[in-house]
Every structure is written in structure tokens, then in C-alpha cells.
Amino acid sequence: MLKTSIFDSFFAGHCLDAHNVFGAHFAYEGISGVRFTVFAPNARNIQVIGTFNHWNGSDAFMKKISPQGVWSIFIANVNEWDLYKYLIENAHGHWVEKSDPFAFYTEMRPKSSSLVVNLRNFGWTDKMWMNKRTKHLKEPMSIYEVHLGSWRKKYAVEWLNYEELARDLIPYVKEQGYTHIELMPLNEHPFDGSWGYQATGYFSATSRYGTPKQLMEFINQCHHQDIGVIIDFVPVHFVKDYFGLIEFDGTPLFEYPNPEDALSQWGTMVFDLWKEEVRSFLMSAASFWMDVYHIDGIRIDAVSNIIYWHGEKKRGVNEGALAFVRRLNYYLSQRYPSAILIAEDSSDYPKVTQPTFEMGLGFDYKWDLGWMNDTLKYYTMDPVFRSYHHHQLTFSMAYFYSEKFILPLSHDEVVHGKGTIINKMWGDYDQKFAQVKNLYLYMFSHPGKKLNFMGNELAHFREWDENREMDWHLLQYSRHNSLNRFMVDLNRVYTHHSCLSRYDYEQRGFRWIDADNSAQSIYSYYREDEKCVIVTVLNMTPVAIEEFHVGVPLAGEYVELINSQKAIYEGNDMCNYVPLIAVEEVCHNQPYKIIVRVAPFGAMMLEVTKV
């Protein structure tokens, strides 16, 4: 029996469970079979065609069961993995074949038929993880961003399936010290080059890497290793391929009716986020991944294109879209209070991470794209000129507490001619390695959670290409191998020292020691909690300083936790191997000082434990 209460909330725009009614569901109605249900208010007729009726729907006309346009039919003797489509006589009298918007699985491109699958009765064993899961606001969160199709390939050409990824990727992420993985969109998409950001199947896990239950087992195993799983979710736009959502019933059912609003800058169709049915469709899709797949968080792509019409501030705020995203985040937070909601937002729109009851957008985190742009621009600069742009690095802390930020060095920064992270660094080969280590230590000691795209940890010189696996051979070279060791150690320091994360979003957790040393291009600051203080010193020039005075807040022994120029990282080993005793002398407005060795392009963290 259909749950008509879900229809009521679907049409009111408050539904998170539309996938429990719409689509293809196994049922027993006097005989075993499948009930197909679809929303198409302007269709004249709809047939279900598939392998079970030899693609002849003459005996499978759906019945319109609601005045709002819900169509349904029960068909006996349909089996799991049977293919199907809807043959729709649309509003113009044309018969067109459409994939099911609520399909749980879809054929591999270029084919586009939906498949009947049973997603229930998977044997989850991650209850302990789910019960202890948090949003990590006060815990370390180091995210490894992954494109599953190009992380590693079989025989260098074939995609790994979910079972193989569980065997290889999960141990790698664990060994590297990351707390979470973020998977670029897993929803079905017809064009590999869109990386999943131009989707057709919002409820359909891509068939590229295996079956839905194989994906469930992959996530289940991630949770057993205490690794959270975040996925990218794209509620802004969808592909124009005619088998999909576009003009689904002959009218702009999912997209805006005005062509100027409907066509995006990516050549895709923009969801009409003013429509209640579209809101319910997308909210149900987000809830579906958290419910059925135990996803720990979603990162919503292109939030600026939700806030402003086509992402352009001059065109004004899209109030209907804002109402949608507030509603989405409110309901998800209510139903999944420990799930993580992240905004990829390039705008300066305020209160993105404030609660919806304060008229914020209700996200838990926002990507700090300003930090990313300013930081990478600074590191590309000749050190001779850095003193004139000194506050390009200090500026992030001027606005940091306005939102809850994640610091991202994502896939967007290593494609389309932008150069990889290490290749952006100024200087020759040796200087690039020295500075990229400096950059990563700066990133991990700066307030905010961390995100690095795959390949950053290998010092990839080649830009990311979704058709090629990562350059794993780089680890055969000592310079790249030592950089990877540095990244592993940096993750360990970060995750094992609570002062680097506990007060990320409270001002008591960070203090500048000297933010104004533009003459030497040296920055110093400290992180603090109840257990310890960690002092960071960054040298942005190739000049060595044997005795550099640093003000510190506490007396005691300052022990160097990590130094980017240590010999094991193929640095010049100009480090501080002996604990530094703080002397009582005012320096940098601090009551004590230590004297440190600072290597060219060196970066270090020093810890003092509180008594």
C-alpha cells in the first residue's frame, strides 16, 4: 500500500522520505512483484517498459492516483536487476522514454535504463561508529578528498570496484592519518569528465564501481576503521540528456520555466528550488544517502549559485533557493544530528554556518576559499616581494570567527591549467619542496578543519586527470617519499594534540605572537587548550637565522614536535633537537621568550605542556 501521508508532505515541500514511495519497490499485493510510482503531473499517459515485458508496455499503463500527478502500477513477477524505463506520452502528445528519477541503480553510460534493486536488509555492523559519531567541531578533522575512478586503477586502466577500494583505499587513508574521506559525487552521471557534478540519478549510486550493497560494505568498513565518509551533493543543476529530468513530462517539471533562469553556465539545467516538489525531491535525496548508505556528511556544491541567481551577486539573492537550503539543513540536522553539513561557497554572504533559527543557512562548516586563494597566491610569490604582501597571510584571522571554516586544498586547485599545489610554489625544485612543506605545516597549525585532495600528499607535479591513476611511482623517489612521510607525521601531530582543534572556532584557541614581522617575512602564533600550548614559527624566505627570539606565554620547556627541514624529510636539518627553556623576559608582548633556530623556508611547531 502507498503511504499517502508522504504524498502530502511531498507536495508541501517538507518531505525527506519520497524515495520510500516513488521509484520501484518490491511489494506483495496478493502476489509478489514491484510497484512503480512516478510524479509526472502533465503527462497524458505513462507505460512501464522493461525486460520483464520485453519492452512492450501495452499491458503496463500506469494509473493516475492523485490530482497532483502521481502515477502508479503494480506489476507481478518482476525480478531484481530487471531493467526498466517510463514511456511517457508527454504534454505535447509525444512519446518519450525516461529513466526513473527515483531509480536506485542505473545502467553504465551510454546506456540509461533504470534497474530494479532491493536496498534493504544489508547487514550493517557499524552501530558503535554511528552511536559515537559527532560533527567534529571540537575534534580534529583531516579530510582526504578522493575521486574513486582515478585514485588507483587496475592494470593502470580499469576502475577498482568497491571491494577493491575497501581493500586498498581504507588502509591507505588510515595509515596516512586522515579522519574522513570526501568522495566526489557518487550519484549516476553520463559524462566521466563532469566528475559526477552533472548528475542524472540522485538516488542512484554510480554503477562504475560496483553494486549498491558493495558500496554499503565499503562504507561499513570505513566506519570499522573509524573513518567518516562525506559525499559531494549537487542540488543546483542537472544534465540536459533527454532521458533524464529535463522536460520530464513535456514541461519544465524540475527546472525553471524561464530559459534564462533554467540554463546554467555549465550547460546544464538549474533546479527550480522555488517548487515544493523539487525541494522534497532534493531533500529526500540528501536524506536517502544518510539513511540508506550511512553517509556521515554531505558537502553541497556551488552554494553561491543557490544564494544568488546564477551565482552572480549583481543579479540579486534567490530567496526561494535560500528558503530551500535552510529547510534542507534544518530537517537534516533534526533527523541526523551527528551528520556533517558543509557548504562549498565562494561568496561573502553572511551567516552561512549560523543556525536557521537565527536566519543563518544552517551549515556546520563552510570552505574557506578566501584563505585558499590568498595563501596560494602568497606562496607563488618571489620572497623578495613577500614583505610587501605580508598581511595576505594574516588576513584570514581577521574574519575567521565569522563562520566555521574548513581549509581546503581541493581538486579545483589542481586542474585546468592551474598547476598542482607543489608546482604553484615559487622557486626551483628544492625550494618548491621546502615551501610546500612550509605551506602544509601552516595549514595544519591554522584554526579550522583540513581538506587535501589526493595527490597533494605525494607532491604531484602532474595535474589531476580523471582518466589516469595517481602517479604512485613518485614514492620511489626519496624527495617525494619524504614529503609523504612529513604529511603522515603532520596528520599524527594534528590528531594527537587537542589544542590544534578543540577551540578552532573560539578566539581563546589562537593568538598571534608576531603578525607584523614583514621585514623578515616570519610569522609566529600559538594554539592553546587546557593541556598544552603549541607555538608555530614560519619562515617565508630562503634566509637562515641561527638565533631568533620568539615571545611565548608560559614558562617551561618547549619541545619541537615537527620541523619541515628535518633531515628525515630531506631538509637541511637546521632544527631544535634540544628542549628550549623559556626565560622570563618580555618579548612580542609575551612574558617569556625562547630562542630558536630557523631554517630557510623552515616551519616548526614547539609544544609546552601545562602543569
Residue numbers annotated as active site: 301, 344
- The answer to whether 217 touches 291, Cβ cutoff 8 Å, is no
- Name all contacts of 45-49 with Cβ < 8 Å and 24+ positions apart: 45/88, 45/89, 46/71, 46/86, 46/87, 46/88, 46/89, 47/86, 47/87, 48/73, 48/75, 48/84, 48/85, 48/86, 48/87, 49/84, 49/85, 49/86, 49/87, 49/97
Tell the residue number behind the cell numbers 614559527, with chain if given: 537
C-alpha 327, offset from chain centre: 20
CB 405 within 8 A of CB 455: no
How many Å is the maximal CA-CA distance in the chain? 91
How large is the angle between the packed helices 319-335 and 276-292, nearest 10 degrees? 30
The secondary element (H helix, E strand) that includes residue 132 is helix 127-132
Among 146, 220, 128, which Cα is nearest to 186's? Answer: 146
Q: Which three cell numbers stand for residue 469?
A: 591513476
Of 552, 546, 514, 515, nearest to 534 by C-alpha is 552
Sequence-ordered list of residues with C-beta below 8 angstroms from that of 355, at least 6 positions apart, any chain:
362
Residues 6+ apart with CB under 8 A from 370: 395, 396, 399
